[in-house]
Amino acid sequence: MIGAPRDPATRAFSNMSAFVDYVKVFCHAGRGGNGCMSFRREKFVPFGGPDGGDGGNGGNIYLEADPGMMTLLDCKMQPHYKSAKGGEGRGKNQHGRNGPDVVLKVPQGTIITALDENGEEVDVVDLAEPAQRMLAARGGKGGRGNSAFATASNRAPRIREEGTLGEERTLILELKLIADVGLVGLPNAGKSTLLANLTRATPKIADYPFTTLHPNLGVIELEFGEKITLADIPGLIEGASKGQGLGHRFLRHIERTRMLVHLVAIEPDKLDFERMWATYEIVRHELQSYTERLTALPEVVALNKTDLVDAEFEPLLEEVCEEFQARGVRTLLLSAIDDEKILHLKQEITRLYEQLQRIEE
Ligand SMILES: Nc1nc2c(ncn2[C@@H]2O[C@H](COP(=O)(O)OP(=O)(O)OP(=O)(O)O)[C@@H](O)[C@H]2O)c(=O)[nH]1
Ligand SMILES: [Mg+2]
């Protein structure tokens, strides 16, 4: 679809180093300005009253979810954030100005764990909604000037407050992408090809394992303008949940999906059910070892690359489907490069997605 506008949720990176999903940042909010002690000095007024203004508050530091971002790279490059201190109170009842707030943008789906100066966990916030904000470190409070202390019995108070210190926080930022559907399968199964042909995403595709080195997101547009987001992650292999291959690190990005599309690539010269079932089981096992929740998600299983099978062997494919069905798994025959088959899969995804929505209502 040359020239078609890209959806902001359709995002990918051309190199792996740009994708950062775990980082530690340090926030130091500005202190409050001191209150002022001062007395009015006017001609012919021998005892002017107190006129020391209050100090301003230190700036707050906020984190804000930005749906247009997909990496914590900026935070990795620059992990220290400071906000300005509040202005000092001055005579003539002039209050110090508040230090401006600092707003640090992070990708939507960032989970923040805030630690205080002693490393104790004080807060965990999930910035799952667009533009959702979290107060990461509060600026110090401005001190009151002496005019704030004047009372009927003490009309010339000689007290004023100092501003308080701003909060210091260490934050652990962990990104877990927000997508409706997770695409899973062994390396080379055709996940990125499917993403590219089902959405406007342009992930890297190649005929070797581990082509995908970071997650890619794409958007399927349904009738009535509704959109489903798909996340394509690097291929899983046996032991992925224990850190083999690349899969382990990236499973967290499908943790929040509501359903899975599981691709099993057929091998045209080995149309053997047991072999395909074993492939299917490897991925299921890795998902389960990572978290049971992933295997509890509804899934669409598609046997991919069926275009590689000669017409005379197509009945064999049907048999494989039946055997999957006999073990309780419904499968679709797919070719990620065939528009008609893709449309069929899209209808299946839509059907399941709408079913999920009805359950939620
Ligand atoms: N003939 C045929 N080739 C396909 C099909 N789907 C994918 N391929 C090819 O298979 C190879 C791997 O495809 P990818 O989309 O990169 O596979 P992947 O699952 O994303 O692989 P990783 O990112 O390495 O996990 C590429 O050469 C694709 O062109 C298909 O349906 N039919
Ligand atoms: Mg890929």
Can you tell me the mean pLDDT for 227-254? 85
pLDDT in tens, 332-355: 999 999 999 999 999 999 999 989
Residue 103 has a CB neighbour count (10 Å cut-off) of: 15
The tokens for 144 are: 């009151």
Ligand 1 pocket, residue 345 CB under 6 Å: no
Does the domain made of 181-360 have the CATH classification 3.40.50.2300? Answer: no
- Look at residue 5 and tell me whether its pLDDT is greater than 80: no
DSSP string, 21-53: -EEEEEEEPPPPPPP---B--BTTBSS--B-PP
| Whole-angstrom distance, CA of residue 97 vs CA of residue 87 | 5
pLDDT more than 90, % of the chain: 69
What integer pLDDT is reported at residue 258 of this predicted model?
94
What integer pLDDT is reported at residue 38 of this predicted model?
94
Mean predicted lDDT score pLDDT of the chain? 90
pLDDT band at 3 (very low <50, low <70, confident <90, very high): very low
Ligand 1 pocket, residue 164 CB under 6 Å: no
pTM (2 d.p.): 0.82
Ligand 1 pocket, residue 308 CB under 6 Å: yes
Can you tell me the mean pLDDT for 83-92? 97
Best residue for ligand 1 mutational test, from 184, 205, 335 (most atoms within 8 Å of Cβ): 205
- Look at residue 54 and tell me whether its pLDDT is greater than 80: yes
What integer pLDDT is reported at residue 193 of this predicted model?
96
CATH classification code of 19-175:
2.70.210.12
* Nearest alpha carbon, ligand 1 atom 24: 210
List the beta bridge partners of residue 218. 230
The tokens for 140 are: 């110090």
| Whole-angstrom distance, CA of residue 236 vs CA of residue 221 | 27
Ligand 1 pocket, residue 210 CB under 6 Å: yes
CA of 332 to the centre of ligand 2 (A): 20
Best residue for ligand 1 mutational test, from 183, 192, 338 (most atoms within 8 Å of Cβ): 192
Can you tell me the mean pLDDT for 85-106? 97
E strands, 45-131, where? Answer: 61-66, 80-82, 102-107, 110-115, 121-127
Can you tell me the mean pLDDT for 108-129? 92
Closest atom of ligand 1 to 195 CA is 15
Ligand 1 pocket, residue 247 CB under 6 Å: no
What integer pLDDT is reported at residue 225 of this predicted model?
80
What integer pLDDT is reported at residue 17 of this predicted model?
57
Domain map (residue ranges) of the chain: 19-175, 181-360
Are 94 and 146 a contacting pair, CB within 8 Å? Answer: no
Ligand 1 pocket, residue 306 CB under 6 Å: no
Task: Give the amino acid at 130.
Answer: P
Residue 155 has a CB neighbour count (10 Å cut-off) of: 10
Residue 121 has a CB neighbour count (10 Å cut-off) of: 10
Ligand 1 pocket, residue 187 CB under 6 Å: yes
pLDDT band at 66 (very low <50, low <70, confident <90, very high): very high
Task: Look up tokens 């990104």; give the residue.
Answer: 175
- Look at residue 37 and tell me whether its pLDDT is greater than 80: yes
CA of 14 to the centre of ligand 2 (A): 12
What integer pLDDT is reported at residue 63 of this predicted model?
97
Nearest to 271 by CA among 310, 327, 235, 238: 310
